[in-house]
Structure 1
Amino acid sequence: MDDKKLAYNREEMLKLNIEALKSRGGVTIGDIAQIAYEQQRKYYPEVSLQLCVESVEKILTFRDVFHHIQFASEVDRLAEEKMFKGPIQDILYYDYGLFGLDEVLGLDVARLYGAIGQTNFGDIDVNKRGIVDKLNREGKKPGTVHTLMDDIVGSIAAAASTRVAQVMNEDAALENPHYHKVNIFEIEEEKKGK
């Protein structure tokens, strides 16, 4: 009997992602949410940390993000245990500056929220805030590898930050007294009436 599990539901993916992040540098949802919060509060001073936490949790339930986190945590772990052969072992182990696949993976996650997500990721990647900075610094110590994980964590923070901005923008639009929420059925009825 084949007992391989390849598909996971959102709740399972969230749980497994939380475990993977915790196992690689002790990363928590709160750590990631804090970066999103810091990034968005300059634009939305009333933003809540809770909205940032909810945004991180939402992103951790996406299948693509699940694959990225699981892959990144395992690659870093294997490099840490010196399980790779050839030049890639040293490139990963020492986080070679010209190795760019870590940023490519990060951009892929941030891209879930379009160009702004990618811009937010670039800011986080360059400025290394919070847990991203901690992972980056720890990854420079002998015996610890966070080559992929610091970028994945930064990209989740960037995606969460962008989601927060979208939620805040939608809330602002709903507060406008001239705003009339229209659904597709109303548009179709208007077309028929003309």
Structure 2
Amino acid sequence: MEDQSFSKSMTYAPGLPEDATFYSAHKKRVTSEAVERAAEKALAERGVRIDDIAEIVFDLQKPFMSGLTKALCVENVRAVLAKRELQHAILVGIELDRFAEKKMLSEPLQSLIDQDEGLFGVDETIALGAVSSFGSIAATTFGYLDKVKPKIIGKVDLAKGGRVNTFLDDLIASIAADASSRLAHRVRDDEEKRAAQSHRK
């Protein structure tokens, strides 16, 4: 059988705009910037803004950080959204929520996701997987947020009108937990640098 010569029509990502892809080793690959934009767009289309998540981070860290600003919380939310693991989790989870809304999944998966079955833990598993790179603080914070469901997490969890947000609420908790952990570590690093500089004087 003859090898076909490579052409741009032979791709793994048909339909994407040219600036969202690049060619490497005879494959059309999606750029990290395109995936990041898609993940943020997917959240926005489900009614979740960066500021909504930053509010949760602010509430979590305010008791421990004097002078904390919402802008700093937004900065850390955006920083964790730049992580591929989290982007992929967002895209997969939200897509499954959308398919469940449209009754496009086979049974019994359709009913498990549609009803957010209590023993169905794949939503938490995906969200926890995205938390793992931010350490134990992120994992314990995720558990707290998953239980308490503050602000936008609770809002999407209780959404009516046929909305399915089985994965979305856990994904938001994951993002907030990651950003909170990142912020806590950065603040500690800054404190240690200042202490070291003061000691040298």
Q: TM-score, normalised by structure 2?
A: 0.83
Cross-structure match for 1:41: 62
Query: Given that residues 12 and 29 in structure 2 are in contact (C-alpha distance below 8 angstroms), is that contact kept between their aligned partners in structure 1?
Result: no
User: Is 1:112 the equivalent of 2:133?
Assistant: yes
- 1:96 corresponds to which of 104, 117, 122: 117
Counterpart residue identity of residue 158, structure 1: A
- Give matches, 1:9-158, under 5 Å: 9-24=31-46, 26-138=47-159, 141-158=160-177
CA drift at 1:107 = 1.0
RMSD: 1.6
Equivalent pairs counted in the alignment come to 177
CA drift at 1:142 = 4.8
- Name which of structure 1's ranges 2-11 and 166-175 shifts more when overlaid on structure 2: 2-11
CA drift at 1:132 = 0.5
Query: Given that residues 146 and 173 in structure 2 are in contact (C-alpha distance below 8 angstroms), is that contact kept between their aligned partners in structure 1?
Result: yes
1:131-170 CA distance string (max 9 Å, x none): 10111010xx351100001101110000000001011111
CA drift at 1:175 = 1.7
Cross-structure match for 1:170: 189
- Residue identity over aligned pairs, in percent, reads 36
Cα separation, 1, equivalents of 2:186 and 2:76: 9
1:26-67 CA distance string (max 9 Å, x none): 101111111111111111132221111111111111111111
Cα separation, 2, equivalents of 1:137 and 1:72: 17
Cα separation, 2, equivalents of 1:149 and 1:162: 20
Cα separation, 2, equivalents of 1:21 and 1:2: 30
Counterpart residue identity of residue 189, structure 2: E
1:53-94 CA distance string (max 9 Å, x none): 111111111111111011011000000100111111111001
Q: TM-score, normalised by structure 1?
A: 0.86
Query: Given that residues 102 and 147 in structure 1 are in contact (C-alpha distance below 8 angstroms), is that contact kept between their aligned partners in structure 2?
Result: yes
Note the residue ranges of structure 2 that are not aligned, 5 or more in a row: 1-8, 14-27
Counterpart residue identity of residue 10, structure 2: D
